[in-house]
C-alpha cells in the first residue's frame, strides 16, 4: 500500500503513474518474474469496481438515493464503478504483487521464480 518493494520496503515499486519497475532498485527483486503477472491486479481492480456497483445497486433498490438525487441510477452506478476500478488500479497492483511476493512468485536477479529448492 506504500508502493514500496515488498521485500526490502525501500525501493520504489512504480515508475510514472501506471508503470511498474522491472526490478527493485535497492535489493534487485524482479517484480514481474513471469509473463502476465499483472493480470491478477486487473482482476482485483475490476472486482473493487464491481463490488461498489453491487453495493450501490442494492442501496438504490432499497433506499433509492440516486433516483431521489435526480440522477439516472444505471448510468450513475456504471460511471461510479468504472471510476472506482480506475482509482483502485494502483493499490490493487501493489496488493497483487505483494501477494505474489508472499507466495514466492518473484525472484532476485535472473533466478527463476518459485519457492526455494524447486
Q: How far is the CB of 9 from Zn ion (least distance, A)?
A: 7
Are the CB atoms for 84 and 49 separated by under 8 Å?
yes
* Of residues 8 and 50, the one with the C-beta less far from Zn ion: 8
Q: How far is the CB of 27 from Zn ion (least distance, A)?
A: 3
Contacts with Zn ion by CB under 5 A lie at 5, 7-8, 11, 24, 26-27, 29
* Of residues 33 and 66, the one with the C-beta less far from Zn ion: 33
* Of residues 23 and 76, the one with the C-beta less far from Zn ion: 23
Q: How many residues does the structure list for the chain? A: 118
Joined grid coordinates for residue 3: 508502493
> Of 1, 19, 6, which Cα lies nearest the Cα of 91?
1
Are the CB atoms for 41 and 97 separated by under 8 Å?
yes
Q: How far is the CB of 33 from Zn ion (least distance, A)?
A: 14
> Of 49, 17, 27, 29, which Cα lies nearest the Cα of 108?
29
Q: How far is the CB of 117 from Zn ion (least distance, A)?
A: 22
* Sign of the four-CA dihedral 1, 25, 40, 93: positive
* Of residues 75 and 103, the one with the C-beta less far from Zn ion: 103
Amino acid at each position: 500500500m506504500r508502493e514500496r518493494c515488498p521485500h526490502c520496503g525501500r525501493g520504489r515499486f512504480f515508475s510514472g503513474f501506471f508503470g511498474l519497475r522491472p526490478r527493485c532498485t535497492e535489493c534487485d527483486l524482479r517484480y514481474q518474474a513471469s509473463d502476465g503477472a499483472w493480470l491478477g491486479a486487473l482482476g482485483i481492480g475490476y472486482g473493487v469496481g464491481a463490488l461498489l456497483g453491487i453495493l450501490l445497486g442494492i442501496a438504490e433498490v432499497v433506499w433509492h438515493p440516486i433516483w431521489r438525487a435526480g440522477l439516472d441510477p444505471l448510468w450513475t452506478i456504471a460511471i461510479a464503478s468504472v471510476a472506482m476500478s480506475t482509482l483502485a488500479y494502483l493499490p490493487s497492483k501493489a496488493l497483487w504483487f505483494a501477494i505474489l511476493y508472499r507466495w514466492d512468485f518473484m525472484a532476485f536477479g535472473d533466478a527463476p521464480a518459485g519457492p526455494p529448492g524447486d
